[in-house]
């Protein structure tokens, strides 16, 4: 019971850290890109990952966590896949309208559910599916403004959804398969993510913005915001792996939509972004979906914990020989034995 309570507290902490750090970095990056016109998102992401790796390397040298090596091919493949998914999401945004890009992000949850059902034999109850549908409907109402389709943009969005889903499922399965922590996996994989984005980032950004990241004028203010963004990204990357490891890829995506709603609200309150009743209604519907999802997940988790606890007790009872002897003795004592039986036994002895 104590271990389960500790796990729940750890999960709540991971979810809270993810929300706070993600909302903070969105606000920071919005100021960096909108106000200071630093619009090189892929290159900035590569710097985030490089700073994350360096900070984790320092933490490892200070013995904050233990290095646990795992299969190199798995780590490299996982790191490259994550880097590709980030690049594809940025390309999807560049070649599609904002509304269609939001649709792409909404498609990640049903795609993850489908992949986990088909390849991992995971089951999702009707209640969970209903709550996810309510959530997606609400976020769609709040964020989707236009749906301009084009063939290249649609293809890039499809690739972005699939690679993102697979990468997030792998984040969960690798941690469980190799029994490693989120920190250990992040440390070993983020250098490969950083390298692939450091190489491709400037080219992708030039393709999307028609500007060269190396020709940009780096004023002191821009540098300060870039450094701040990189520092916040350490918490973002760490909490991403932590949440997926402790919960599931679907829960992480639900959390991501909560962040979207919070960013919309903060944008209106702090930056006076345009806001209307449709946004408010959509956010409220999404919050209902999130509450339902949290409630049903908690109910199912508690039922599973009670079932596991009962099974463990039964296994302990079956494996304890002393308990078997005591139970057997009790059963023998409880059996009614006739006097004739004793007489027959005594007769045999005397004979």
Q: Which residue has the tokens 């890109």?
A: 33
Rounded to two decimals, the pTM is 0.78
pLDDT of amino acid 83 = 94
Are the C-beta atoms of 129 and 178 separated by less than 8 Å?
no
Q: How far apart are the first and last CA of the chain?
A: 61
pLDDT tens track for 59-81: 999 988 899 888 999 999 999 99
Retrieve residue 283's tokens.
């956010």
Per 3-state DSSP, the chain is made up of helix, strand and coil in percentages (nearest 5) of 85, 0, 15
CB atoms within 10 A of CB 197: 26
Decide which of 351 and 187 is more confident: 187
d(CA 277, CA 208): 33
pLDDT-derived band of residue 349, with 50, 70 and 90 as boundaries?
Answer: very low
Give the model confidence (pLDDT) of 218-230 as tens digits: 999 999 999 999 9
The CA-atom distances, in angstroms, between 237 and each of 162, 190, 299, 348 are 20, 9, 29, 81
Report pLDDT for 146.
64
Distance set, CA 77 to CA 89, 167, 170 (Å): 18, 10, 10
- Which string of DSSP letters, residue by residue, matches 2-59? HHHHHHHHHHHHHHHHHHHHHHHHHHHHHIIIIIS----HHHHHHHHHHHHHHHHHHH
Closest CA to 198 of 80, 90, 50: 50
Q: Which residue has the higher pLDDT, 238 or 345?
A: 238
pLDDT of residue 341: 41
Q: What is the DSSP letter of 215?
A: G
């Amino acid at each position: 019971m104590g271990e389960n309570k500790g796990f729940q507290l750890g999960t709540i902490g991971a979810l809270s850290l993810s929300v706070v750090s993600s909302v903070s970095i969105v606000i920071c990056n919005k100021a960096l890109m909108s106000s200071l016109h630093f619009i090189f998102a892929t290159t900035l992401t590569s710097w985030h990952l490089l700073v994350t790796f360096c900070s984790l390397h320092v933490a490892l040298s200070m013995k904050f966590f233990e290095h646990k090596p795992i299969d190199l091919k798995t780590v490299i493949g996982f790191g490259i896949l994550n880097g590709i998914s980030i690049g594809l999401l940025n390309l999807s945004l560049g070649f599609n309208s904002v509304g269609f890009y939001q649709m792409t992000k909404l498609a990640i949850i049903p795609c993850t559910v489908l992949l986990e059902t088909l390849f991992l034999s995971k089951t999702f109850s009707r209640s969970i599916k209903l709550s996810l549908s309510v959530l997606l409907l609400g976020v769609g109402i709040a964020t989707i403004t236009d749906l301009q389709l084009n063939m290249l943009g649609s293809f890039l969005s499809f690739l972005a959804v699939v690679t993102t889903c697979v990468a997030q499922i792998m984040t969960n399965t690798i941690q469980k398969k190799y029994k490693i922590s989120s920190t250990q996996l992040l440390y070993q994989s983020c250098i490969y993510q950083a390298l692939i984005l450091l190489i491709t980032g400037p080219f992708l950004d030039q393709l999307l913005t028609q500007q060269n990241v190396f020709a940009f004028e780096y004023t002191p203010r821009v540098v300060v915001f870039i450094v701040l963004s990189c520092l916040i990204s350490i918490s973002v990357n760490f909490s991403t792996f932590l949440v997926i490891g402790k919960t599931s890829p679907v829960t992480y995506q639900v959390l991501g939509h909560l962040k979207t709603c919070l960013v919309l609200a903060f944008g209106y309150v702090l930056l006076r972004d345009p806001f209307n009743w449709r946004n408010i209604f959509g956010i409220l519907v999404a919050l209902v979906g999130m509450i339902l999802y949290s409630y049903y997940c908690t109910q199912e988790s508690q039922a599973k914990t009670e079932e596991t606890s009962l099974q463990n007790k039964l296994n302990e009872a079956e494996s304890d020989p002393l308990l078997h002897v005591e139970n057997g003795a009790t059963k023998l004592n409880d059996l009614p034995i006739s006097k004739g039986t004793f007489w027959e036994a005594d007769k045999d002895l005397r004979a």
